[in-house]
Amino acid sequence: MTVENKVVLVTGGAAGIGAGISRHLQAHAAKTVVVDLDSERGRALEREFAGKLVFVHGDVSDHAVAESAVQVAIDAFGGLHALVNNAHVSRQKPFIEHAREDWELSFHTGFQATHNFMLAAYDQLRQHHGSVVNFASGAGIAGLPMQASYAAAKEAIRGLSRVVAREWALDGIRVNVVSPIALTEGVQHWADQFPDQYDAMIARIPLGRAGDPQTDIAPVVEFLISDASQYITGQTVMADGGSIMLH
């Protein structure tokens, strides 16, 4: 399994799971384009991995940002082999308290961003028989309370991924989904707000802990964009310590 010299675009790649993926890819000699709104962290990564990682500041819900990021990959590294749609922002509250802006935030930064970047990357992925990794969540698969807009957007991403996996298979492009549990800053914030829900989540994990973004989740993404997974497409991979076992 290798991603050496592959060019990978990671949305939301400056913090949380995205930063874990970005760092893991650098450790395995990939070339990386990171798209994020967090300029401070993004620029810090760019400085740390100068010449091997390029940061693009922008709102992932903007299709122009997606097109620009793909062009950056071409200009900086000669093309694009893989797309990782990790970015997603949402608010946790009861369904009846969700306002229009809550739904728009989740669908714009999650589903719409995934849609935008897949379209923008298509020509490059077709040329290189590349791979897409999108992100789902147990919030959608299991229906977790307080997560209506997030769960709905994540399940929309899974549905889109299955359709596109069939359509793009003819072009040699694979599309898979990772559903993780990882202790990011965002999850820690949720745990602080809703400790009972967090404790209940951990109790449902057979391996007994939340995953680490870099050592537990990123290697799964690496596998899915490497040639080692060349016969896998349209699948949801549960990187969640066994909390949900699909069948």
User: Which pair of structure tokens corresponds to residue 24?
Assistant: 């893991």
Residue numbers of the domain that contains 134: 7-181+214-239
CB 70 within 8 A of CB 9: yes
Show the low-confidence residues of the chain (pLDDT under 70): none
- Total of domains in the chain: 1
Residue 79, domain member (yes or no): yes
231 catalytically annotated: no
Q: In whole angstroms, what is the distance from residue 211 CA to residue 183 CA? A: 6
Residue 65, domain member (yes or no): yes
pLDDT at 247: 81
Q: Out of 122, 150, 198, 231, which one is annotated catalytic?
A: 150
Cβ within 8 Å of residue 107, ≥6 positions away: 149, 152, 153, 156
Q: In whole angstroms, what is the distance from residue 104 CA to residue 247 CA? A: 32
pLDDT tens digit string along 36-60?
Answer: 999 999 999 999 999 999 999 999 9
Cross-strand bridge partners of residue 174: 131
pLDDT at 46: 98
Residue 203, domain member (yes or no): no
Q: In terms of Cα–Cα distance, which of 70, 152, 151 is closest to 116?
A: 70
Residue 190, domain member (yes or no): no
Residue 191, domain member (yes or no): no
Residue 205, domain member (yes or no): no
Residue 192, domain member (yes or no): no
Q: Which CATH number belongs to the domain containing residue 92 in this structure?
A: 3.40.50.720
Residue 197, domain member (yes or no): no
Using DSSP bridges, classify how beta strands 82-85 and 131-135 pair: parallel, antiparallel or unpaired. parallel
